[in-house]
Homo-oligomer: A and B are copies of this chain.
């Protein structure tokens, strides 16, 4: 089997570092180029000392990349700047985009949630929304895949099969989500200082978080009609992990049976025995998503709890899973790493 030479654009952020961590042990890919805008010229060891033992290409500016030596691209650039960059890449490259730039299929929705018109509406039409568990076949033949957002993946993986089967009221979906701090990236912001985050907890972007557009899009497809879920994100004093507690009007046993059947063959999605619930620490550093289903004491209501690592199944691991599909590789290649606990 030949080795695919990959470039990581935006390697100086946490999702970039996570791609390096996973790809450096991938049996069929090798890292051919690493880019970082402001940190071009530095080595990855300077920027991420935990990766210093690897032999890696230097960080460069994007326009310094020799595309002849690259077969595929992971794009881990900030939202909004990504559109132009991807539009400018050679057309023969396979691309997984970890930003939000191509996730919303409707340009009007993009404009609503991001506050400006989409700059590459033609390119958008070509992009496949890339959650492997639901879009596997489309991903296999895609040239560009938009990787699902971290909160969105945690929320919709258990919800899509429930709504598709009509097992819950689409007008009665409340998603209370909690994320570790790494989801906010590595930018130096006062709000993300250790002193501002540790020993405390708060909600943010209440009723206004941008991931809602993406949740709406996918839940509406699943329900076959417009869905507007309530969604509240909170910031946990921990590095990694998202846990979504979702409240539904629907029968818990039926929901559990449906999810257990739907995900029985999935390598990375696991439904716990009825009544058991997962913790974020069970997936720290792994590409797994765990789902628990509990009957609420209110008859006819169900509580779903889903967890994943926002940097892995919620970003870089999922991206590699998508790329594996695009390249015809085993879907789990390079993603066998187990959770690190404690």
- Where the two chains meet, the residues of A that have a C-beta atom closer than 8 Å to any C-beta of B are 14, 17, 21, 24-25, 48-54, 174, 176, 178, 181-182, 186-190, 192-204, 206-208, 212, 228, 230, 232, 234, 236-241, 243, 245, 247, 270, 277-286, 288, 292, 294-298, 301, 303, 305, 307, 336-342
B195 near A298: Cβ-Cβ < 8 Å: no
Number of copies: 4
- Say how far A3's CB is from chain B's closest CB, in angstroms: 17
Considering the chains assembled together, what is the distance between the CA atoms of A270 and B45 in angstroms? Answer: 13
B192 near A178: Cβ-Cβ < 8 Å: no
10 sample A-B contacts, Cβ–Cβ < 8 Å, listed by A number = A50-B281, A178-B178, A181-B342, A182-B342, A186-B190, A201-B238, A201-B241, A203-B243, A207-B303, A284-B340
- Give the most central of A21, A24, A186, A341: most B CB within 10 Å: A341
Residues of B contacting A17 in the complex (Cβ-Cβ under 8 angstroms): 341
B298 near A243: Cβ-Cβ < 8 Å: no
Q: Given A195-B192, A198-B198, verify A49-B279 contact (CB < 8 Å).
A: yes
- Give the most central of A181, A207, A240, A284: most B CB within 10 Å: A207
A50 near B339: Cβ-Cβ < 8 Å: yes
Considering the chains assembled together, what is the distance between the CA atoms of A50 and B337 in angstroms? Answer: 11
B228 near A298: Cβ-Cβ < 8 Å: yes
Q: Which 10 A-B pairs have the closest CB atoms?
A: A200-B281, A202-B279, A195-B342, A50-B339, A176-B176, A194-B197, A50-B341, A50-B282, A239-B342, A181-B194
- Say how far A243's CB is from chain B's closest CB, in angstroms: 5
Residues of B contacting A243 in the complex (Cβ-Cβ under 8 angstroms): 201-203, 234
- Give the most central of A25, A282, A295: most B CB within 10 Å: A282
Residues of B contacting A182 in the complex (Cβ-Cβ under 8 angstroms): 195, 342
Query: Which of B195, B228, B245, B295 makes the CB contact (< 8 A) with A14?
Result: B195
Considering the chains assembled together, what is the distance between the CA atoms of A212 and B298 in angstroms? Answer: 12
Query: Which of B186, B278, B305, B338 makes the CB contact (< 8 A) with A193?
Result: B186
Considering the chains assembled together, what is the distance between the CA atoms of A228 and B280 in angstroms? Answer: 29
- Give the most central of A199, A278, A303, A336: most B CB within 10 Å: A199
Q: Given A195-B192, A232-B303, verify A341-B237 contact (CB < 8 Å).
A: no
B207 near A294: Cβ-Cβ < 8 Å: yes
A50 near B338: Cβ-Cβ < 8 Å: yes
Query: Which of B278, B279, B297 makes the CB contact (< 8 A) with A212?
Result: B297
Query: Which of B25, B203, B247, B284 makes the CB contact (< 8 A) with A277?
Result: B203
Considering the chains assembled together, what is the distance between the CA atoms of A243 and B54 in angstroms? Answer: 22
Residues of B contacting A212 in the complex (Cβ-Cβ under 8 angstroms): 297
Residues of B contacting A341 in the complex (Cβ-Cβ under 8 angstroms): 17, 48, 50
Residues of B contacting A305 in the complex (Cβ-Cβ under 8 angstroms): 203, 206
